[in-house]
Structure 1
Amino acid sequence: GGTIQGIVSSGEGVGNVPSLAFTDGLLSLLGGGLHGGHGAGPDVSALQLQRTDWDTLPAYVHSLQTLLLTVLKQGSGRPQGDHGLFLRYHIEAITVRGINSFRQYKYDMGTVGKTLEGMFRKLNNLLERLHQSYFFYLLPSLARFVSIGVYMPAFGFLILILVLKISPGPPLQGGARGDIFGVPLPPSRPGLLTLVPPLLICHATGLTLYFLPVLGQHVATQHFPVSESEAVVLTVIAIYVAGLAMPHNTHRVLTGSGSERGWMTLKLLSLLYLAMQLGCIALVNFSLGFLLAVTMVPVAAIVQPKGPKYLYAVLLVLVTPAVTLLLSIVLYQELIEYPVSALECWQLFLQAVSEGLLDHYLYGSIVFPFIALFVYPCWLLLWNVLFWK
């Protein structure tokens, strides 16, 4: 049989990554890294084998696929090894495990011992330099990285779309403001009472989505032939879908009709709310913020109760976080060259929802509460804007 080789597990923790100097030091010992080296054949589970022809189109496509894999893994917020539980406490860690290899080049236990010794020596040398290392980066390969100074401006331009969309037009004569969202503003000011019900209902739905599945699992198992885990997942899906059917005519009951300024004010609050959320989550888990920004920002900028309403409704449904998760699962399976059927994809989706709740309550992952308490209510506000009239 094969002997033991070293493998560095993927570096993502609960939305975090270890120090780049730490990761590169271990990879250089195992035979790769950003500065080369030799050792026990590195492998990172989220990374594909690196290429040497960097300037060719296939190499760029390969790096893009690898980068998407790391983004999807980090965006999930799941710890990809035991080290992930330490990263949120600012303890630099990475998982290294042995695998039974049948490759051409064999390494015995002596090589593994030398590798461990070299790891401790490198850690001793890194103590003075860890504060100068990169703690926010993406890896398109074992020998290349993308620093925060490169990808954050691109993310900022996505947020800029929302800021430009909510900017009012130039002042008109007499001190009145111009149009906003491309619609002239009427002279009358609506009462804020029309905006209170949508805000309360949407956030109450988010609170229900966060608390009810776990609190009501015992009741569900007593009345339905399902296990506790199935009850939690099905309750989450039921509450999530029920949000689409929430009453959107509260403002009509209060005012008699939906005013122009009413939906524009609600959309203004929604865009500000979304921009604030994406900006905050990008500082904690950039990959999650990027996935949400790429999907939600373009649709949030164009949605309004006028024009092709059914088209806007379809686009809003396609960018809801649940559909984004489903499409991410399909993309991930394609990237690892293991495509799945529709039924298998649905099972993976249910498993991802279940594991999202489990990771939150066991490991402190913030993905589920962030989606339930912030992103989903914000999406419901945009849904209210669409059906304002």
Structure 2
Amino acid sequence: MALLATLLALRNDARILKIPPYLSAFLILIGVAWLLVLPLDEYSRNTYVSENALLPGQVHTYFTGSEHDVFRAYRHEVAGLVDLPAQQRSDKLSELLRASNLKVATQKYTYTPSGRNISDENVYAVLQGPRADATEAIVLMASLKTMDGEHNYSGVALVLALARYFKRWSLWSKDIIFLISGDSTSGPQAWVDAYHDAHDPTTIESLALKSGALQGAVGVEYPAGPWGHRYDKLHIVYDGTNGQLPNLDLFNTAVNIASGQMGIGCTLQRMWHHGNSYPERLQTMLRGMLSQGLGHATGPHSAFIPYHVDAITLVTVGDGWHDEMGLGRTVESLFRSLNNLLEHLHQSFFFYLLLEAKRFVSIGTYLPSAMLIAANFSITAIALWVRSGRPQEPTPNPAATKPVPRSASQDAATESDHKRKEQEQSQQEDERKAVEHSTVIAIKDGATAIIPTEVLQISERPLFLPTAFVIIAHFLGLIPLAAFNHIPVEELRSSFLLAANLTTLLPLATAYFLSQFNRPTHQESTLIHCFSLLFLGMYLSALATLNFSQSLIVGLLTAPLSFVRRGKGGLVTALQFALLVAINPVMVVNSATYLSKVELLDVLVKAAEGWHIWGMWTQVVVWLVWWPAWFCGSVVVALGLF
């Protein structure tokens, strides 16, 4: 009972409200520290194949010998197609695929993001498995240009050679679809959308040929010249749109086949040299988180993952002694493993962080990091809610408390009366506390236990203005969301710089306008801050289960919002506002492009392309989650300047 009495008495202790800022900072530090220990052996695991039916590397491969001459012939054919118009190029590729006795069709598509015209033509062929019933299929694809803009001569030639080679085998229990697209992202996206009847027929042509449910897809990027080029390693790209990932079994199967069966080293996240040390593991993990957090397409495979089709892209890198036959045998063995599947890949992980080709961290280990950072906003919001209900202490009036000169006799009489009244008030207060300030907590054997508690004073909270302000702030985010996805490319850069200036000045203008009406009050501004942080914490907690990296990145960038407060002007308030200007989403994007030496226009164009073509939702998080929270917090701080 003594402990309960102590806890109840703490409810009205003013020191309680001093704890949340320290608790929020503690949660952020723990979240970051949690992330930094993940590369250690104690918190990560070696990769393994969960699906026993895959049997990676257990078959003998035959793609060699005379197939090398066929491949070289195809590579010269592909080199002659580069400068041809799309129609002639598609006719020639269709002719080459029909020569392998495959069913061939083409698909035209057109996109117009930011006023640009992206139109091309896909060529695809279907190999009907001799032991298949057209209910399942696997995709092998290559684009005429890689993600880096290089000509994919050897990649397309390898797909053509494997199509001819696979046709001669009678062991296939699934159909195999060979796809050759004009580019690495738009072409595969148009094709897979049409395959699942999720396309716009006015801009994307429907498919004349289809097979069964897609069980997997493998892309090939081999940017060698017309005369070939030997490579050192395979760079396995696995990031999908919006941070979605393929089943880890597919990645592990590719690594086991390439490194174990073929002796080809594997790397990921552009870590060309990996010594499996802590710094290299951490760098690989952070690069993977950045790619996942951006949510952009990283290769032709990215279009398939949103449709629950596990897909990866194999990219050759470096100068070494491996040739196209090694890559061909790797793809052959990988397709032989996928051909063994009795059901869709499901046993392994869909949420993971890779530290290197054979080491990963599962979702159960890394998820608390983002959740702790998201929780700090909720804790601060609760503290602000409690603070908003506390009655504000009246500001003392110096004129009213100014002493008035009195005589000695008057002072003595007044002091005597004052002592007598204090004794009476003290006695009445003790009697009132004994009854009104007490709580009956237990009755047993006729005995009543009474524990003194404090009466928690609560003032009425005005909710209309804070609620309306936060809702309007979220709706305001729709304006830049729509604008930057539809403004012509010629005006994108200037519009973005204009938005950087406007969004910086908007909180100041809003605070000045409100101050002219003596609104909001200190209590209302506290509630505005409370509601915005409450929404931010809920959004990031939900987002962490879908895109962990994006939630973590946004949470860290918006962390200062938990610690800024409405002040009374001066240097502290100015510094708080300057800090918030630095974490303005527009300023962060501008600074990030400058530091990474990437053209701002390229980022804006790719973002618009991702919105219209890939279905990327990163802009939604930026403008409808991050920006409203920043705007509300900035207005609350700016109110202290007026």
With normalisation by structure 2, the TM-score equals 0.49
Structure 1 letter corresponding to 2:511: H
The alpha-carbon deviation at position 258 of structure 1 amounts to 3.5
Cα distance in 1, alignment partners of residues 342 and 331 from structure 2:
17
- Please state whether the residue corresponding to 2:322 is helix, strand or coil: coil
The alpha-carbon deviation at position 260 of structure 1 amounts to 2.2
* Match status 1:22 vs 2:238: no
Cα distance in 1, alignment partners of residues 302 and 386 from structure 2:
51
Aligned to 2:239: 12
- Please state whether the residue corresponding to 2:245 is helix, strand or coil: coil
Aligned to 2:427: none
The alpha-carbon deviation at position 93 of structure 1 amounts to 0.6
Aligned to 1:140: 355
Cα distance in 1, alignment partners of residues 499 and 593 from structure 2:
22
Aligned to 2:511: 248
How big is the alpha-carbon RMSD for the aligned residues of Structure 1 and Structure 2? Answer: 2.8
Residue 465 of structure 2, aligned match among 194, 203, 214: 194
Structure 1 letter corresponding to 2:466: L
Contact kept, 8 Å, 1:189 with 1:261, in 2: the verdict is: no
Structure 2 letter corresponding to 1:145: F
Cα distance in 1, alignment partners of residues 299 and 378 from structure 2:
38
Cα distance in 1, alignment partners of residues 300 and 498 from structure 2:
33
Aligned to 1:384: 635
The alpha-carbon deviation at position 156 of structure 1 amounts to 1.4
* Match status 1:76 vs 2:303: no
Cα distance in 1, alignment partners of residues 478 and 303 from structure 2:
26
What is the CA deviation profile of residues 134-163 of structure 1, one whole-angstrom value per residue up to 9, with x for unaligned ones?
111111211211111111111111122122
Structure 2 letter corresponding to 1:11: Y
Aligned to 2:617: 366
Compared CA separation, residues 5 and 114, structure 1 to 2 (3 A): farther
* 1:37-48 superposed matches below 5 A: 38-48=262-272
What is the CA deviation profile of residues 154-180 of structure 1, one whole-angstrom value per residue up to 9, with x for unaligned ones?
1111122122222349xxxxxxx9636
Deviating more after overlay: 159-168 vs 195-204: 195-204
Aligned to 1:274: 536
The alpha-carbon deviation at position 348 of structure 1 amounts to 2.4
Aligned to 1:292: 554
Structure whose residues are more often strand by fraction: 2
Compared CA separation, residues 9 and 321, structure 1 to 2 (3 A): farther
Aligned to 2:328: 113
Structure 1 letter corresponding to 2:249: A
Aligned to 2:195: none
The alpha-carbon deviation at position 63 of structure 1 amounts to 1.3
- Please state whether the residue corresponding to 1:387 is helix, strand or coil: helix
* Match status 1:210 vs 2:481: yes
Compared CA separation, residues 127 and 162, structure 1 to 2 (3 A): farther
Residue 372 of structure 2, aligned match among 142, 157, 167: 157
Contact kept, 8 Å, 1:48 with 1:66, in 2: the verdict is: no
The sequence identity of aligned pairs, in percent, is 25
The alpha-carbon deviation at position 129 of structure 1 amounts to 7.3
Cα distance in 2, alignment partners of residues 330 and 51 from structure 1:
30
Cα distance in 1, alignment partners of residues 270 and 607 from structure 2:
19
The alpha-carbon deviation at position 229 of structure 1 amounts to 0.9
Contact kept, 8 Å, 2:390 with 2:459, in 1: the verdict is: no
Compared CA separation, residues 128 and 209, structure 1 to 2 (3 A): same
The alpha-carbon deviation at position 47 of structure 1 amounts to 3.4
Residue 387 of structure 2, aligned match among 175, 179, 202: 179
Contact kept, 8 Å, 1:77 with 1:367, in 2: the verdict is: yes
Cα distance in 2, alignment partners of residues 70 and 269 from structure 1:
33
Cα distance in 2, alignment partners of residues 16 and 373 from structure 1:
21
Aligned to 2:564: 303
Contact kept, 8 Å, 1:6 with 1:96, in 2: the verdict is: no
- Please state whether the residue corresponding to 2:287 is helix, strand or coil: helix
Residue 3 of structure 1, aligned match among 211, 230, 242: 230
Structure whose residues are more often helix by fraction: 1
Aligned to 1:61: 279
Aligned to 1:312: 576
Compared CA separation, residues 244 and 323, structure 1 to 2 (3 A): closer
Unaligned runs of 5+ in 1: 53-58, 170-176, 218-227, 334-344
Deviating more after overlay: 81-90 vs 317-326: 317-326
Structure 1 letter corresponding to 2:247: S
Aligned to 2:491: 231
Cα distance in 2, alignment partners of residues 239 and 93 from structure 1:
38
Aligned to 1:167: 382
- Please state whether the residue corresponding to 1:133 is helix, strand or coil: coil
* Match status 1:259 vs 2:521: yes
The alpha-carbon deviation at position 204 of structure 1 amounts to 4.1
Which one has the largest radius of gyration? 2
The alpha-carbon deviation at position 43 of structure 1 amounts to 3.4
Aligned to 1:375: 626
Compared CA separation, residues 49 and 304, structure 1 to 2 (3 A): same
- Please state whether the residue corresponding to 2:355 is helix, strand or coil: strand
The alpha-carbon deviation at position 185 of structure 1 amounts to 4.1
What is the CA deviation profile of residues 268-287 of structure 1, one whole-angstrom value per residue up to 9, with x for unaligned ones?
10111111221222222211
- Please state whether the residue corresponding to 1:7 is helix, strand or coil: strand
Aligned to 1:339: none
Aligned to 2:174: none
Structure 1 letter corresponding to 2:567: K
What is the CA deviation profile of residues 246-274 of structure 1, one whole-angstrom value per residue up to 9, with x for unaligned ones?
222454455x2442211111111011111
Cα distance in 2, alignment partners of residues 359 and 367 from structure 1:
9
Cα distance in 1, alignment partners of residues 625 and 314 from structure 2:
36
Aligned to 2:198: none
Cα distance in 2, alignment partners of residues 205 and 240 from structure 1:
15
Structure 2 letter corresponding to 1:70: G
What is the CA deviation profile of residues 10-54 of structure 1, one whole-angstrom value per residue up to 9, with x for unaligned ones?
2111121211111011011111xxxx55433323343343315xx
Cα distance in 2, alignment partners of residues 249 and 209 from structure 1:
23
Cα distance in 1, alignment partners of residues 500 and 374 from structure 2:
26
Aligned to 1:173: none
Cα distance in 2, alignment partners of residues 214 and 290 from structure 1:
25
Cα distance in 2, alignment partners of residues 212 and 128 from structure 1:
44
The alpha-carbon deviation at position 373 of structure 1 amounts to 2.4
Cα distance in 1, alignment partners of residues 521 and 285 from structure 2:
46
Contact kept, 8 Å, 1:8 with 1:44, in 2: the verdict is: yes
The alpha-carbon deviation at position 329 of structure 1 amounts to 4.6
Structure 2 letter corresponding to 1:179: R
Deviating more after overlay: 278-287 vs 76-85: 278-287
Cα distance in 2, alignment partners of residues 315 and 127 from structure 1:
56
Compared CA separation, residues 364 and 272, structure 1 to 2 (3 A): same
Structure 2 letter corresponding to 1:312: Q
Structure 1 letter corresponding to 2:473: C
The alpha-carbon deviation at position 5 of structure 1 amounts to 6.5
Structure 2 letter corresponding to 1:353: L
What is the CA deviation profile of residues 312-360 of structure 1, one whole-angstrom value per residue up to 9, with x for unaligned ones?
11221222223433455567x4xxxxxxxxxxx3x52332223112211
